[in-house]
Structure formats: structure tokens, C-alpha cells
Amino acid sequence: MAAVHHNPIIPGFSPDASICLVNGTFYLVNSSFHLYPGLPIYMSSDLISWKHIGNAINRPSQLSLSRATTFVGPLDDGTELVATGGLYAPTIRHHNGITYIICTNVIHGTSNVLGDERSEQFFIHTTDIRSGSWSDPIIFEFPGIDPSLLFDDDGRVYVQLCKTGPEFEIYNSEIDITSGAMIVEPTLIWTGWKKGYTEGPHIYKKDGWYYLLCAEGGTFEYHMLSMARSRNIWGPYESYEMNPLYTASGTTQYVQNTGHGDLFQDLDGQWWVVMIGVRMKEGRSIMGRETFLTSVDWPCNGWPTIKPITCDGNLEANFKPEGQDPLAASWVYLRDAKLDRYHMQNNRITLKSDLVEITSADESTTFVGQRQRRLEGTATVTVSKPQHSTSVRAGLALYKDEHRFLTIEYDFHSQQVIFNGINRAKLYSLSEIENVELQDFVSFKINYTETSLQFSFRVDEAAWHDLAALDTALLTDHDFTGPVIGIFAIGDGIAVEFRDFEVDAVQSQETRV
């Protein structure tokens, strides 16, 4: 099965993949951090073609993302870490006709300082994954991240978690899957192989062994997969003598920072793994952490061998884009969005402007967009001049978080086209301004490649005019999130109409940067 697949299988902002097989169909879920709706669900019948079919957190009443803010602070080596809160590292499993997702909501404190946070563990469930009808979260307490589920042969249900603190260690507990109550309190089972940022645990029962798969080394250049096993789920666990099970660290491979994986079998019994990776070109990884797939050889009573990840020239070939349908699963907002400010119909989107700026960590600015899926493409939109007031700014943005974004906008009051580029992790700031009068509308365009970004505009039917050009290295950081391209409106309640918004259009040869 899946002799030919194209990596990444889920391109763009798609970290921490987990996967399960339900009635012959594979379902995959990713972390979503600060984006609403959260926990995107992708479907495939063959591990080759993938489609985004919905999101498991799809009602504001399920949980709050109001404190899914972003901290910026130094790591031990002085590198700036850009850490966004929200929905971390879900695990998806299916048992007795019910599909479960277990996850962490990381809630940042108001100080916006690294370490001022708490974590809320929860799971949700559905009997019909394609319907999008997920339960409200069932919450349980544990001071950590990355929960996983194991349904054992005897009917017991176990949760594995990473306890954070100065040390990252793996704990196991037994849980009542109907109520979330702990039957056996979390117990330390493994401190890891390298004993550095041991996280992302999953346990698989095979050949009478409990195999524990973990990520180690942190999610950046030293990322890896390691494994241990035990005859008893509570341990003791013996580390694999050939650890790390998989890593790109120390290699020149195009796909770097590999780790945080989930093992699974297809209908033929073949083993596979999905894992994080980034496409790295000369220090640039503009797409962030993406989902990659590779096959696994796992002999009876033995240890798995993961085949090297390949990344061919036919990128995104089998990922089906959602398009601009107002009902598509691909639309995302920031944190706890005020959904009554958005109206979509056909190719037109009306935003009711708000005074909340894109830099706000406390409220959700009026912004809606889609994940960037292609390395090379074009995003465009046309903005109509408001009829009754000019107290508004509106435009097009490439957004990663409130500290890092690139925008091109029109200020209808000052009659200026303005480009703003911000990356506080790099202490970078750039503004370009042009005075422009318009009669009816202004259009914006972002041309992007793996290494460059170009921001342009045109007034009414005039020719395109380039305003700013940048290197994608400016948005490459030690971070958790990926690029989202969207539209925004900032003002005192004025309605702004956008039309023909498009992301990931294929560039013509003439328009390539």
C-alpha cells in the first residue's frame, strides 16, 4: 500500500501528527496552537491523497483559546524561543466504534513571560468523525503536555504524558475513559534515552511487549525519536541500544528537525510512521513544522527500523486544497474570535472592523485566513472603499503570531498604502508607505517562494506596484507555528468588503520573484 507518496503529506503548518485507521480510512490530526477552529482532521484512503475534512474543536463553547498567546525568550544557548500557547500535540485513537482525541490546552499567564503558564489536559470523542460532531472536552489534571491513549487487551485504558519542569519525563496512568477520573495516579515510567526534552509519548502493544516511542532533544535541530520497551506497562523500560530510532541531526538532509512521531499499520499490516519535519534551505524553513510519512520495518519481538524520509520535487502533489468555499474546513481565526464580525458569501467576505491590533495578545483582531500550503505561490485580494466612513485600515497579512507578521494595508483615512514587517524575536521592524488616492478599490498581492517574499498593490485597474521585498529568513525562528495568509480590518466598527481572496495560486513565470 502507498508505494508512492509525496512528502510532506500535510504541507504547511501541520505539526505533531497523530493517526488512526477507522473502517479502512486513515484519519490524521495536528496541533493548532492559537488557531480557531482547532485540531484539524485530514482523511486518506490510501496514504497518498489527503483532504482536510474538518476540525475537532469547532464550537467556541468547547474551550477558550484566549490565552493562546506567544512568549519570546532566550534558550540556554541564547537563541530566541518563540513559544505559542493553545492546543498541543493531540493523539487520535479509535476503540469500540468511538474515535477519541486527547490533547493539551496550554494556557499562558498575563505576564507574557516564559514559564508563566499552566496546562489543561482533555479528551473529546465522536461516533461519526466525518460529521464533525465532537463532544465537549472532558478535562483531567496533570502538569504537563502531550497525552496519549492506549486501549489495552483487558479493557483497561492508559494515558501517557510528558511531565514538564526542569526535567521532561514520561508518566503513565490508568483512566476512566467515560469520566476522565484517574483510576491509577500518574507514575513515572521512563526518564528518556538522552534525558533531554523527552516528550510526545505513545505506547504500542506488540508481541507481548509494551513499546514506548518518544521524541527527544527538543523540536528543533537536535530533534529525534527514541524507544524503550517493557513486558509490563508500568515498567521497568529498557532503552533500545541503537537509539536514536530516527533523527536528521548532524546530516545534510533537506528535511530536518525530524521527530515527534506516531507508528501505525495499514490494512495489509505494513508499519508506517508520521512525524514532524521542516524543509530547510540555507537556514530557512518558512513553512514551519510539517507532517511527513515513511515506512517502517518492525520484525516480531524486535525493534522498528524507520526508512529515511524522502521529499521529492512534486511537493503538495496529493494534498487536495479546500479552495475558497465559505464552508470549507480550512478557514481559521485567531484565538477566541468574535465570529459575528465575519460574513462570507461566494467570493465576497465582509469584515466588521475592530480596534484590536494584530499585535494584541489580549484580544482577537478581526482576521480570517488559511494556512499557506505551497512553497511557491501567490495570495491576492481586492478591498472595496467603504461607503460611509474612512476610519478603517484593511489589507492582506502573512501571519505567524502577534510578534511576527508581514502586512500590506490601505489606510482609508490617510490615503496611504502601508507595509509593516515585524519579528520581535529578531528585533526586526520595517515599514514602507506610499500616498495613494483611490476611487473604488485597491488590490494586494503577496508572491512567495522558499526564499523570498514580495508585497505589491494596485489601485482600481492600474498596474501592479511593488512595495516591499524580503528574505524568508526573517520569519524563520525556533518556533511552533507556521504561516497563515489572511485578510484583516482594523477600525471602529466599519464594515469592509473583500472579494476574490485567494491563497496558494500558482505563479505564472512572469510574476515569480
| Contact criterion met (CB below 8 Å) for 235 and 211 | no
Please indicate whether residue 167 is annotated as part of the active site.
Answer: no
Q: Compute the half-sphere exposure of residue 238: CA atoms within 13 Å on the CB side of its CA.
A: 9
Choose the catalytic residue: 16, 174, 411, 504: 16
d(C-alpha 367, C-alpha 354), whole Å? 10
Please indicate whether residue 16 is annotated as part of the active site.
Answer: yes
Q: 226 - beta bridge partners? A: 214
Where b means 16+ CB within 10 Å and e means fewer, 128-148 reads: ebeebebeebbebebebbbbb
Q: Compute the half-sphere exposure of residue 285: CA atoms within 13 Å on the CB side of its CA.
A: 24
The residue behind cell 510528558 is 162
The residue behind cell 517574499 is 453
Report residue 141 as a C-alpha cell. 489534571
Report residue 509 as a C-alpha cell. 513565470
Q: Which of left, alpha, beta for 472 (phi over 0: left; psi -120 to 50: alpha)?
A: alpha
d(C-alpha 212, C-alpha 228), whole Å? 5
Report residue 487 as a C-alpha cell. 485578510
As to burial, measured by CB atoms within 10 angstroms (0-12 exposed, 13-18 middle, 19+ buried), residue 203 is: buried
Peptide bond into 166 cis (omega under 30): no
Using the 8-state DSSP alphabet, how is residue 340 labeled?
A: G
Where b means 16+ CB within 10 Å and e means fewer, 32-56 reads: bbbbbbbbbbbbbebbbbbebbbbb
Measured CA to CA in angstroms, residue 248 lies from 71, 476, 484 at distances of: 27, 18, 26
Q: 406 - beta bridge partners? A: 398, 421
Choose the catalytic residue: 146, 169, 174, 199: 199
Return the closest-CA partner of residue 219 out of 144, 281, 276, 143.
276
Return the closest-CA partner of residue 17 out of 200, 221, 251, 216.
200
- Total length of the chain: 513
Whole-angstrom Cα Rg for the chain: 23
Using the 8-state DSSP alphabet, how is residue 33 labeled?
A: B
Please identify every residue annotated as catalytic.
16, 199
